[in-house]
Amino acid sequence: MRRALLIGGLLLLVLCVPPLSANPGGNGDANRDTSCGGSCHGDPGLSEPSSAVLSFSQDRDSAYVGGPISISITVNQMELSSRAMIGVFLLSDTFGVSDTPQDAGWTILSNGEGGSTNYVETYVLDSENGATITWSLLAPATEGTHTLYAGVHHGGGGAARMQLSSGYNVTVGPIPENLPQMLPWEAMNSRALGESSELSMPVINATTVTLEYRIGDGPTISTAATQEGDMWVATLPAALSDIELSYRVVMNNEEFTESTGWISVGNEVDAYRADLSAVRLQSLALMLGSIALCISIQRRMSRSASSSLNEPEAALISADQTSMVTAPGPMVAPQTTPALALDDPRRPPGWTDEQWLHYGPDHLLQNSGGGL
């Protein structure tokens, strides 16, 4: 009865496990305001301060209206949780709402991670070296000084932590006359595996356009784009595996050479999703198999112990030992050799002394009573 109750309880526990959901990779890259701290790590106002150091860099001295520029944010010296994950923001302000770069007129072509969002999550292997995220942008349509901010949130020391940088100014100037430029364009930053990608790029004031791409840290490969009406068209080769690929557009004329920042392409790989019902059935089968094995072993051991206790002691003697035990035979009286003397009257006539001493005992035994 006790065994049946135990098995029933285990079955109930397996079948009643609730479906759990979690974000082992964080909340994911997305367009997020500063207030994302409320959805990711609790109220940002309640977050602990971070020791993170945030710094900016850019790939050119200034940008022109609607022109390309790459902005990099480096984060280091932060506390790290056991998961070693951080989330990095590129912001246009720190209001908490409507403060993404897009809200201030910037266009994000790429976030360097195969997307076009202002918030990127990444793992950090070493706090001292930290991590660097690079955004490829198109500047706002208004001249002047535009301010950007960096933010980071992460876990560490058992608490949610957040840090915001001071403002970083980017000068946006007028468009030089006859400068090759990319018109507003939605860059390709993800695609399916095994498919080549045809890019149509709205470039003006250019005599030649080149598409440059690189795979991982490999060499840069160039392919010429062809003009089709108002668009320049080039093709990226298909990716046969989940590899890192990035590209940029280089625009030329007689006076200028202009290029976009590097745009990372992510590969759309189908995520594996476990069927909860199948997992439960597999767990149930494994548990029942384990129980059956334990019961079988227990029964076999019990039978062995019982048979050992009930066998008679004589049964424990082996066949070899039995063959060594023999039944006692009839008692035989020991025979004694009579003492001989050379002048014994029972000595046959004519026997020499040597014959008498040697054969005499047998002679006397054959003639019971010692007679001749």
Q: What is the pLDDT of residues 8-63, one digit of tens each?
A: 665 565 555 554 433 444 578 889 988 765 445 445 556 788 999 999 999 998 89
Q: Please state the rounded mean pLDDT for residues 125-143.
A: 93
Name residue 136's beta-bridge partners.
70, 110
pLDDT digits 0-9 by tens, 192-204: 888 889 999 999 9
Name residue 233's beta-bridge partners.
200, 226
Q: Are residues 161 and 186 in the same domain?
A: no
Continuous H helices in 23-176: 37-40
pLDDT digits 0-9 by tens, 238-281: 888 888 899 999 999 999 999 999 999 988 765 555 566 777 77
**In terms of Cα–Cα distance, which of 175, 93, 352 is closest to 360?**
352
| pTM (predicted TM-score) | 0.63
Which residue carries 């001071």 as its tokens?
A: 166
Q: Are residues 57 and 194 in the same domain?
A: no
The torsion angles phi and psi of 126, rounded to 5 degrees, stand at -140, 120
Q: Which residue has the higher pLDDT, 222 or 274?
A: 222
Contacts of 146 (CB under 8 A, 6+ apart): 92, 104, 105, 106, 139, 140, 169, 170, 171, 172
Q: Is 73 helix (H, G, I), strand (E, B) or coil?
A: strand
> Containing domain of residue 152, as a range?
27-175
The H-or-E segment that residue 360 falls in is: helix 353-366
Total number of residues shown for the chain: 372
Task: Give the count of domains, the chain.
Answer: 2
Q: Are residues 142 and 230 in the same domain?
A: no
Q: Are residues 134 and 235 in the same domain?
A: no
Which CATH number fits the domain that encloses residue 52? 2.60.40.10
Q: Are residues 38 and 85 in the same domain?
A: yes
Percent of all residues in the chain with a pLDDT value above 70, rounded to a whole number: 77
Q: Are residues 56 and 124 in the same domain?
A: yes
Q: What is the DSSP letter of 367?
A: S
